[in-house]
Each structure stands twice: as C-alpha cells, then as structure tokens.
Amino acid sequence: MLTGVRYAAPPVGSLRFKRPAPVDVWRGVRNATSVGQPCAQRTPRFKISITNEDCLFLDITVPGGVDVNKKKPVMVWIHGGGYTLGSKNGYFGATLAVQGDVIVVAINYRLAMLGFLYDGPGTGNFGLWDQRAAIMWVKENIDKFGGDPELITIFGESAGAGSVSAQLMGRHNTGLFQRAIQESGSLYSHWGWFNSENQLFEIRESIRNQHNCSKDESVYKCLENKSVDELLSTAVTDNPLVNHWHPVPDDDFFLSYTSQEVYNATQRNPNLPVPLAVGTPTWPLFNVSADTVMEFNSAGLKVIATPEKDRLLNLTETLFAARTAQVNADKAPGIFIV
C-alpha cells in the first residue's frame, strides 16, 4: 500500500479558496509511507477538530504487487461525512483490493467552508474540484502501478455518494471514469446541494459580518489570511448541528439547474450513460429482498429481477429523487439498484 501520495499542491496561502493546482514534479524516489493529514474540519458533536490545510493526498492499494503488463480495474473511493468531516484515513482498501483483484484508491478533499464556500457564479465547489483532480491524477498515473486508466470506477457513501453523483454531472468530466457506484446518497437527495441563491447569500453575508469583511472585497480575499481556527469557529447559523456546506450550482462545475432541469441534464450529459449502481442501507426502513437478482454484463449494469423491481425503483426515487422510474432499467448501461 502506498499512502500519502500528493495529487495536488497544498491549498494554502494564496491557493486557499482556489481550485487545486498541479503538484510539483519530483525526481527520484518519494516516500509514500506516511498517511498524510485529513483536511481541516471541526465537528463539536463528534469532538473532532483538525486544523490542517495541507491535505490533498491519496492512498493506493495494489493486490499482489505491481505488474504493468496486466492492467487491473481501478476503484476510486470518495469518503462521506456530510461534506464537513471524514478522510481517506478511515478506510482500509486491502480487503476489497484482494477479494476483487482491483486497485483501490482512496482520496481526501477539502471540506466545509474551505471546500464549499460560494462567492458568486464560477466559484465554490473546491471539494468537488479536488475530487476531480484526484481522479485525473489516477487516470494519468495509475498505469505505472498496474492499473487500467480506461477502467476506473468511482464510488462513495453518503456525501461520498453525493460526490459521485456530482462527478457524473460534472461538465468537464467526459471520459474521466467509466463506472460509478452511489452508496446511500445522491446529488438529488434533499441534502445533496444548494439551489437557493437566497440561502447562499445569507451564509456568505453571515460570514462576511462575523469577519468584518469590507463590502468592496470578495469574501475569499477577506478570509485568505485568517487562521484555520478562526474559519472553523465561524458560526454560519445559531444551530451548530445543521450542515450548511454542500455542492452549489456554480455555472461551471454544474449549470444552475432546478431539480427537474438537473435530471433533464443527465439525459444530455456526454458523460452519461455510464454503468451506475445505486444502493441503500440495510436498516429496516430500507430493506429490500435478498431474492432480488442482479446481473453484470459487458454492456453495463442492469436490474433483471421482477418481484422487487418496481418497489426498488420507487424506493430509490423516493429516497434520492433520482427519477429512476423514468429510466428503462432493462437497457444497459443503466441503473443497478441493490
């Protein structure tokens, strides 16, 4: 396992609130035995406080050693945590790598204010741009580790699943990956993203007022030299348990669609269709029959069961508002629901 591999320049100083910059090229052997710090996060509810900004690292797990002559499929894991907490360090890819004979890559990305503060069209979504940069690094370099750059699956859970959904919608991601898995979440979930300009304005103005920002300067410029501790201590609202950090319709990574327009856009997006698996937890509310039969074939993923099929489609539409009932699940590539 190679760990703490830097995929982008440290997003510090003038690179704070900027899209990820390319990592400096190095020569010779580079140490890949230090895990690398998680991205800055503070969650009083879980007593978590990390003030590190130099965090754009990934881990690579290769089963059975590197063989550049036999290209293995690649799976890129995007962690969850409500876009406010978590890191790659909480996941160990060896079991999946060995059992699936795949290369597993786990990534960090910027969180909360540092990852998702919006200051007008063309801004914000830095955490999503980080994810994209990591996937691009994998595509450009994974062949050196015995991976197939043309057989990349991105997968994630909760906000990681929302991130997978976001990458599927990304306007600059054509050909970047070939398959996707969403585990318990979607960009279409009620918590999936902001589509209210009023909400975004209120959050931005609250932050501006707390930090005495001038009306004549961008909120990014105002906060550029603040300490991480000051940023993490910013109270967006009076309720510390409410998460106010999500992907935003920024007119670049995404266009500014309503929910229906977002769905319509998936039908036009050149990234799609790719085989997509959508899953739910096994809690009683979400239970589905173990008798449901699934099939994977060279054309993609599809549902082939009959007794549970309609209920699965309706359940997924209810939970994720993914409108899968409008998708012909018998045509692969399509929607694979587990």
Helix residue spans in the chain (DSSP H): 94-100, 112-116, 126-141, 159-169, 197-210, 219-223, 228-232, 259-268, 309-320
Q: 336 has which bridge partners?
A: 277
Confidence bin at 90 (pLDDT 50/70/90): confident
| CA angle, 241 then 286 then 159, to 5° | 40
pLDDT above 50 (res 231)? yes
Q: What is the pTM of this model?
A: 0.82
Q: Which residue has the higher pLDDT, 182 or 48?
A: 182
Nearest to 127 by CA among 101, 166, 97: 166
Rounded Cα gap, residues 29 and 62, in angstroms: 18
CATH numbers and ranges of domains, the chain: 2-9+28-303 (3.40.50.1820)
Q: Is the pLDDT of residue 333 over 50?
A: no
Reply yes or no on whether the pLDDT at 313 is more than 90: no
3-state secondary structure 18-69: CCCCCCCCCCCCCCCECCCCCCCEEEHHHCEEECCCCCCEEEEECCCCCCCC
Q: Say what percent of the chain tops pLDDT 70.
A: 72
Residue type, 60: I
Average the pLDDT over 314-321 and give the result: 39
